[in-house]
Amino acid sequence: MSTPIENRHLALDVLRGMTVCFMIVVNSPGPGAAPFSPLEHAAWHGFTPTDLVFPTFLFVVGNAMAFTQPRLQGLATGAFLAKTFRRTLLIFLLGYLMYWFPFVRQGADGNWAPTPISHTRILGVLQRIALCYGIAALMVRFLTPRTLRTAGALLLAGYWAALAWGGDYSMTGNLGHRIDMALLGDNHLYHGEGVAFDPEGLLSTLPAVVNVLIGYLTGRFIREKGASHETIARLALAGAALVAIAYFWNNLFPINKKLWTSPFVLYTCGLDLLILAALVKSTEMTQPPRWTAFFTVFGRNPLAIYLLSEIVLTSLWTIPGAGGNSLCETINAAFYQRIAPGPWGSLLFALSLMMGCWLVGWAMDRRKVHIRV
């Protein structure tokens, strides 16, 4: 006997909440020591648990789309397009402003000055989420599920062909990097790798759309079939199949998060399907475990809590501390690295920031404040 799943089912909230929770942890390691290796991204080719966080966020964007799209399908085309473009633009703008924040920087002379718009990063995490959502929403609106599967396969195969034809799989030798440099320029790209290279570049956004599409098709399947042993088995089998295909494809086209390669898409979606199958089993077919309530706090206000974590972290790195260091470095040296030297102190700082954000989310949830874009 299957159990019908409401528009906002618990497994989706928990998966979304787990993603936001771990995104905050991996994005905010305390300075003073290198974090544990599983909490760092793969240097280039390869995969770590941290590499699963961002694609899972895209997967749950698509998953949620399956529960909201039927309502949007009732809108006239003009109204649908206006709503979709408005949401895409707003999320993109929030991401752009988040990277620009706090809009000032300290020069070599110690003086503070406004950060010029000519040196702002245009792309990024929220910007990619916005673009992938906008493209996927249009595809879902105008294409059938069967055509969506074909389009997703073509996007993955086409991206592989484009990278193979247009360069190599190195950081500065791939086609996507050359496109970003030509269209955006050095000063508008990410420089965290030591060179101008954006892991959320324009070309690699195309395969990332497939993460949303697979999430949508998964959510649509769950909405239609409900929670049953058959549903869970089919989710798990599909997940295992995608992981296996990704492993074989990895021999020709390496799994690489920063290039967002096609086997990376299949590998992460496969893992997401396996995780979601387990969550549907544990939350939809039995009494939900008490631990799920912790993650639903994140899941009900994901964008607001994520923005809060980034603003707090950036502020801690910007505010001056002792000895010419930032407040973040001062706090970690004086407290976290003293009580737990090394990677444990780094992790403890990240967990503290995550829990602070959780408390804000918990207060919002108790007051029924759920911010939607």
| Domain annotation covers residue 136 | yes
Q: Which two tokens stand for residue 95?
A: 């991401």
What per-residue confidence (pLDDT) applies to 67?
84
Range of the domain at 115: 10-366
How many domains does the chain divide into?
A: 1
| Domain annotation covers residue 175 | yes
| Residues paired with residue 112 on neighbouring β-strands, in sequence order | 106
| Domain annotation covers residue 270 | yes
Q: How many CA atoms lie within 13 A of 99 on its CB side?
A: 21
Query: Residue 60 above 50 pLDDT?
Result: yes
Contact criterion met (CB below 8 Å) for 32 and 349: no
| Domain annotation covers residue 211 | yes
| Domain annotation covers residue 249 | yes
- Percent of the chain with pLDDT strictly greater than 90: 73
What are the CA-CA distances from residue 45 to residues 42, 48, 250 (Å)? 7, 10, 10
Residue 48: other Cβ atoms inside 10 A: 17
What per-residue confidence (pLDDT) applies to 70?
76
What per-residue confidence (pLDDT) applies to 160?
97
Query: Residue 3 above 60 pLDDT?
Result: no
Give alpha helix (H) positions in 167-321.
Answer: 175-183, 205-225, 229-249, 262-284, 292-300, 302-318
Helix, coil or strand: residue 325: coil
| Domain annotation covers residue 373 | no
Taking only Cα atoms into account, the Rg of the chain, rounded to an integer number of angstroms, comes to 21
